[in-house]
Structures are given as C-alpha cells and as structure tokens.
A and B are shown apart, each in its own frame.
Chain A
C-alpha cells in the first residue's frame, strides 16, 4: 500500500519536473525564438476624399489594434490624409467609425498622425523607408529602426496591377517598393518585415520582392478587386473593406500574451467572406510561419532580463554648491531669431531645373513646317516626300 503511494508520488514528481523543465525551456526559448528587441509599424492610407472613408477607417483600426497590443506612438508612423473626421460631410464630426450603427469610433482621443494631408506622398513614403529624410525632420516622423526591429507595414487605398495610387495624383510601383526594401536590408534597418496590403490586385505589389526576411499578405490576387464591407446609411459611405474588417475581428482576440501564429493569420477572410482571394508570400522569410507569433509584429512584447550585478559605489555625492564660486556669472541671452528675415531677403534665388517653356515643342514643329513651306512652296512638297 505504501509502495503504491510512493510510486504515485514518484510518478507525480517526475511529471512535475518534466513540466518545469519544459516551462523553463519555453521561457528561455521565447527569448531566442525571434531575434527582435523592438517593434515598429508604418501604417499608410493612400487615399483622400470623402468617398474613400473606408480606407481611413481601415488604417485607423489597424492603428488602434497595434497600440492596444503595446506598440507606443513613438514607434508608429501613421500617414493619413486625415480629412474624414473634420469633413463637412461627416454627420458626426471628430469621429471615424468602423462598424455600422456607429458602434466603434476608431478616431478616438489619442490618435497621433505623423504625416497628414498633402504630406502623404510617394516620395515621403520612400524617404521614411530608406531613411533619407532631411536633417530637420523631427523624431516622430522618422523610422528609427535598427537591425533588431520587426516592422509591420500596412498599405491601403486604390491599386492596380503593379502599382498603388497615392492621393489621386501619383503612384508607387512594385519595383520601387522592392528596391526600397532592398535598401533597407542593405543598411540592416529591419530584422523581419510583415507587409500587408488591402487594395485591388494587391498581390501584384509583393511579386517583385527579393530581400530576405519579408512576409507579405494581400487582400486580393491579380485581376481581382477587393470589396468593401458594409455601408452605413447615416454616414452614407462604406465604412470598411472586407479584408481589414475580418482582420480586425481576428486581432480583437489577440492579447499581448497570446500565442497565435501566422498560419492563423493566413486563414483570415477566406473567399466565402471576402469574395476576393487573399494571398500571402513567405518564401523570403527564414523562419517557419507556424513559429512566428502574431505579437512578434502586431504587438510589442519586450524581452526582459533580471539584473544580477551591482557596482559598489562608495564616494559620497559632492555638494554642487561648494563647486560654484560666490557670485553667479551672468550670461547675456538673446532671443533666437526663428525666421532670419535679413538672410532670407538677401538670399540668391535657388536654381531651379530649367524646363523648356510650355508649347515649345508644338512651336518647334510649326516653325520647321513653316520654313519648309515658305522656302519651297506647297507644290514642292513632293521633293521631300
């Protein structure tokens, strides 16, 4: 009888040890499973105008999720046209809703838009990615990632086969994007990069990637259109796109300690719900997508080590008063000129690139033809032709 109990205890003890060992391995393994120490997010909405409400709502929803899962504003670069919340046609000003019946206001109180209005251009986007910003750019507008940063890039708007339209006036092509990522890789500006795009024919944008450690998801294949989800009759426009709507539902279940991996993200929004076929690309990614946690990109789970050492400091703190001499030295301070007017008005004008004047080419043709006709008359045209 006693032996039986002993055997039970023994078995239980072994199991406990095994469990503890696995736990310990898991914790240690988690430290080293992903090689990143910080997370960044670049969220871009490339459309403007009231009828593209859904693109702004898309981007703001992803922004909210990413902030909720822990990435601070200082590590998020948000580019929006930002003309929805205070638009004259918005029946509820200062709000941007993502669910119909105005359930969820994704604009909120603490949204921090880094590039707004006409600053959302292809040039600025490429400058952020490659780091070639003018020296006067503030810290909040820069992507200060290093070789241990995991970056999430989310693009939404109107796109086509191989390009993405920025604010109705310019486009970025998939070759440019791939080259920008390659330049980021050359300077080791990322550890791993997740690229999500929710536009029509979105899969064409990641076709040309060739740098390592990139994973890409798109909402539709080449030749397909991404569709919007639901209109709100009070606001009068479509509120969200389907892919991002279901992506958001998926992300709502994620909390900072969850262990869901990328394979679940690939299953978001199947054809039955999305009408278009979402695609993904993982051949450039070194790790197995099944071992990549969602929070590796969408959240910011810090790695932590306990400090075991301390340094024995024995000097007393010097009193700073004794260091100063009796009287305080007075310095003359002058107000710094914010705008050096005298320099500006005496500045030489900046040399702009010379372009030929408008209509020059037409004028040139006309001149040539006139000269011919005048010299030889119309009937002599047959000598030429």
Chain B
C-alpha cells in the first residue's frame, strides 16, 4: 500500500518537475532564441520629425545711396525690421518665412562704386567691397537722377547678391521714413521673390512629401524637367557623326569642358558632385528623316518629330556602370553631307536660333549650325576632297549646353516682373543668387525627402514585427535623425551652407538605412505558418505534461473532498 503511495507521489513529483522545467526554463529559452534582433530606434524623435516645421530666414540689407533719403529721414536710419509669414501646407507640414531687413545709408566707398558709368561695373565694384554671405541680399537704392539704369528699368539684378533699385523722386518729397519704406515695400518684395526663396519654389520642393495639386502648367513643366536632388550626377557629352566618310570632326572637348563647364560645376559643388565624360559615336543616325525646305534650301526637322529622335540614339549611348547616379546626356549631332544644313523648326515654322532641344530629366540634343563650324562651306563643291576636316566652335556649342544644363539642374529663370533687368550670368554660368535659390530649394527638398524616408521606415519596422534591425541600420537612422534636426535648426538660423550640408548627410544616412539589403529577411511571416511550424514540435511534448497535471489536480480535489466530511 505504502509503495503504491510512494510510487504515486514519485509520479506526481516527476510530472510536476517536468512541467516546472518546461515552463521556467524551456519557454524563456525558446522565446530568447527565436526572437529577432531589433536594435533600438529613436522612435519618439522620428515622430517629432514627422510633423515638419520649417523656418526659413533671409537677411536683407537695404542701403540708401545719397539723394534717396532726406536728412530727417536719414536720422531714423539705421533701422531693422522683421517680417514673418506663416503657411500651413497640410496637417503635417508648416512653413514660416522670416525676412530680417536692415536699413542703412551707403558708405563713401559704396557711393564711389555707385558712380560707375554702367550697372554692370557698379555691380562688380560693389562686390569687391564686401562679400555677402550665402542666403543674404543687399539692395542698393539709387535716386532717380542716377544714370546707371536705362529709362524703363527700375531694378537691376546683378551677378552676385546685389540689386539696384531706383525710386522715383516724387516718392521722397515730404514723406516720412515709414511712408517711404511702405512705398518701397512692393518693389522689395518683388526683388525677394526673384532673388531669394519664394513660396511656389519651396512648396514645389516639398512635392515628395505633400501631394500638391499643381498650380499652373509652367510649374508642372518645371517640376518635371529638373532632376531630383541627388548626391551626384554624371554628365556625358557625345558627338554623333553619322557620316565619317564625308566629315572628319575635331572638337576640343577637354579644353571646352575645363573652360566653360567646370566653373559652373565647381560653383555647384556644395550642391552635388559631378563627373564628366565624353565620347564620339560613329554611324549614329537620328532616326527621323528630315524634310527638304525648298524655300530656304535647307533640311528641316519639325518640332513634332523630335520626340522620336531620342529613343534610337539612347540605346547606343551607354553609361557608367559603377554608380547609380542620374545621367545627363548632351549630344551634338553633325548632319551628314546629304542632309546638310539641317535646322529645327518650331510649331510656327520658324527656325529655332539655338537649333537645340532638351528632354526633361534626360539631357539635350543640339544640331550643329553651319556658322558655328570653321572650315566648311555652305554647300560642298563638286571637287571637294572627302573627308572634310571640320573644327567645331566649342564656345557656341557649350553656350547652348550650359543653358540646357542650367534648366535640367533646376536653375529656373522665370520671367522677371516688368521693369526688371537681370544681368547675364557671367562665365561661371550661374549667378550667386541663383545658387542661393538652388541651395534653398535643395535643402528643403532633402529635408522633406529624408523625413519622409525615416518616417516610413519607422512605420514599416513597427508594422512588421519580424524584420531584423541590425545595429548599423539603427546607427544610420540615429545619425539621419541628428542630421535632420541640425539641418532644420541651421535653416532657421539662416546658415544656408551648413543647412545644405546637414541635409545632404541626412539624405545619405536615411537612404542607406531604408535601402539596406538586410531589411528583407522575414518580411512576410504569416501567423498560420508560425502555428504550422510550432505545433508538431510542442504539442506531443505538452500533451502528457498537461494530462498529468490535470490528473494531479483532480486527485488533489478528490482528496480535499474526502477530507471535508472527515472533518465534519
């Protein structure tokens, strides 16, 4: 009797101990060994960044030259004014613009500079006096009597960051400073709209984040044409020679790139890296047949047929296989002897002066004009010895390519308001204020893209509990968040260069984190498959344990019930 009791107790103890081992040791061990490694992410900071609040500030200095302010008005100058404008783009994005305007009178050296004969020279000498930092503007107010500007022009926008504004003489007679400033304000607003950031540009830069209904057709075309912000671009210059038997082409591409293109790219180096290469393609046809225009005895290409030119050529162009940067292709086509000279006609059947066209986000194609080529006659004589040597005037060619490059990179030259005269952009191909505008929109675009990337990555990692988050991804995310916070604060402070640099770092880290190849494992692990894996492992083991525990419990209850009547 006692042995069965001992046996039974031993059995119960065995079952209980096995159950204890399974629950206390086994279950935590299984949990630890099957959990996915997820490094810590700064989720709260990411949530803060999801609500993007961008503050952009610009410093404007308005300098009154002699003859623009009366002595009583002059007493109140120097003066500083701040203007704030808030815009709410959507529920997650808000913009606020701040213009800090400082008014002062001109120094003697500046007065001397303003006495130059032409506006361009005045601009140059003003620049030698002081260099304004990135993002700021200086507006020089000159009296009506000044001869710097032609008759119908009120504002001259220089190549650096200065503008010359001419006010009418009747504005300053008998008016206080406040009235003068109020009178000048619309003009200064227009100058700011042209030379500094504008609401349309900034909202266009936010297009990645906010789906804005497009305003007008021009803005749609602008947003489709320019390349998106990227850390690097590749530029390829190609010379297409369909007829090597007739033409032997010489183009000094290295020298031309060094002299004409490289200054622009060096100036744009804070924005992106550029790599340039060039090639010559022989027997590359255009793919469309030009028509002979007997009235002008030239061959013509209609604007409608231009869209079909690019595809056959693109297959032969090739690209640098090493990087994934966007490629800008610039092609120069020399028509063959039978179709020479070849001109492009627009919709109104007029010759296009540049003889070139470009395709949004792809590049540009130019057909050489006879006048830009040395050493060839308009018509070939009967006894010409083929192949004919042709030297290409690279200055004209590069002028067109530079204009196309500016358009494709997003340096928009929208028509200025009436009464404005914009100086030509000079040999670097880019005015300082155009660079500032590009930097503003690029910074905003980078910040918007990086915040969207980080937010969607955090959401994705949150939703799919199975993805492994390695340490390097967590580190990239943290550094992206830090860079974003720094970029937003630098933008608020008005340090454009630093803001752009931090925003570029933020983009790099966020893209590296989002596109990390390791974020694909265990992406989709449905629950029914999990059950299907674990049930054959654990169910046979758990059934005896559970049953024995149930037996113990029922025996204990029975004993308890037996005890009770005994007690009574």
Contact = CB atoms under 8 A, between A and B. Distances in A.
Contacts of A314: 395, 427
A3 interface: no
B260 interface: yes
Interface in B517-562: 517, 519-520, 523-524, 526, 536-537, 540-541, 544, 547-548, 551
Contacts of A147: 207-208, 228
Contact of B311 (A302, A305, A372, A376): A302
B224 interface: yes
A370 to B, nearest CB: 13
A304 interface: yes
Contacts of B413: 309
A366 to B, nearest CB: 11
A40 to B, nearest CB: 13
B259 A318 contact: yes
B89 to A, nearest CB: 17
B403 A139 contact: no
B11 A384 contact: yes
Contacts of B347: 24, 27
Contact of A317 (B224, B256, B306): B256
A256 B523 contact: no
A187 B514 contact: yes
A317 B11 contact: no
A98 to B, nearest CB: 23
A376 B18 CA distance: 14
B520 A123 contact: yes
Given A383-B11, A384-B548, A70 B361 contact: no
Nearest to B430: A311
A267 interface: no
B356 interface: yes
Interface string B285-316: 00000000000000000011011101100110
Interface stretch (B80-88, B155-163, B452-460, B494-502): B452-460
A378 to B, nearest CB: 13
Contacts of A138: 321
A58 B413 CA distance: 48
A176 interface: yes
Interface string A351-385: 00000000001001100100010011000100111
Contacts of B400: 307, 310-311
Interface in B363-380: 364, 366
B523 A126 contact: yes
Which range holds the interface residue count of chain B? 35 or more
Contact of A365 (B225, B361, B526, B541): B541
Contacts of B514: 187
A196 to B, nearest CB: 22
Interface string A140-162: 10101011100000000000000
A365 B540 CA distance: 8
A256 B305 CA distance: 11
B59 to A, nearest CB: 29
A72 interface: yes
Contacts of A32: 217, 220-221
A66 to B, nearest CB: 12
B456 A186 contact: yes
Nearest to A354: B33
Contacts of B172: none
B224 A304 contact: no
Contacts of A24: 347
B520 A130 contact: yes
Contacts of B462: none
B208 A144 contact: no
Interface residues of A, number: 70
A154 B58 CA distance: 50
A313 B315 contact: no
Given A305-B358, A317-B259, A318-B259, A384 B460 contact: no
Given A32-B217, A32-B220, A384-B548, A305 B537 contact: no
Chain B contact residues: over half helix, strand or loop, or mixed?
helix
B429 A311 contact: yes
A315 B519 CA distance: 52
Interface string A1-42: 000000000000000000000001001100110010110000
B360 A37 contact: yes
Given A188-B208, A304-B358, A310-B400, A72 B523 contact: no
Contacts of B7: 376, 380, 383
A384 B551 contact: yes
B254 interface: yes
Contact of B217 (A28, A302, A361): A28
Contact of A306 (B260, B346, B362, B424): B346
A256 B311 CA distance: 10
Nearest to B359: A302
Contacts of B304: 27
A134 B512 CA distance: 11
A308 B308 CA distance: 20
Contacts of A372: 544
A304 B307 contact: yes
Interface in A302-346: 302-320
A224 interface: no
A111 B512 CA distance: 33
A38 B329 CA distance: 14
Contacts of A126: 520, 523
A113 interface: no
B361 A37 contact: yes
B517 A134 contact: yes
Contacts of A310: 353-354, 396, 399-400, 403
A317 B252 contact: yes
A175 interface: yes
A139 B395 contact: no
A384 B544 contact: yes
Given A72-B314, A302-B310, A305-B357, 6 more contacts: A126-B520, A132-B520, A138-B321, A306-B344, A307-B356, A376-B14
28 contacts: A24-B347, A28-B217, A37-B362, A70-B308, A73-B315, A126-B523, A127-B517, A134-B517, A147-B208, A183-B460, A187-B514, A307-B358, A307-B364, A308-B352, A309-B403, A310-B396, A311-B399, A317-B260, A320-B258, A361-B536, A361-B537, A365-B540, A365-B541, A368-B541, A372-B544, A380-B11, A385-B547, A385-B548
Interface of A: 24, 27-28, 31-32, 35, 37-38, 70, 72-74, 123, 126-127, 130-134, 138-140, 142, 144, 146-148, 173, 175-176, 179, 183, 186-188, 256-257, 300-320, 361, 364-365, 368, 372, 375-376, 380, 383-385
Counting from the closest, the 6 A-B pairs by CB-CB distance are A317-B255, A186-B456, A70-B311, A383-B11, A307-B356, A309-B403
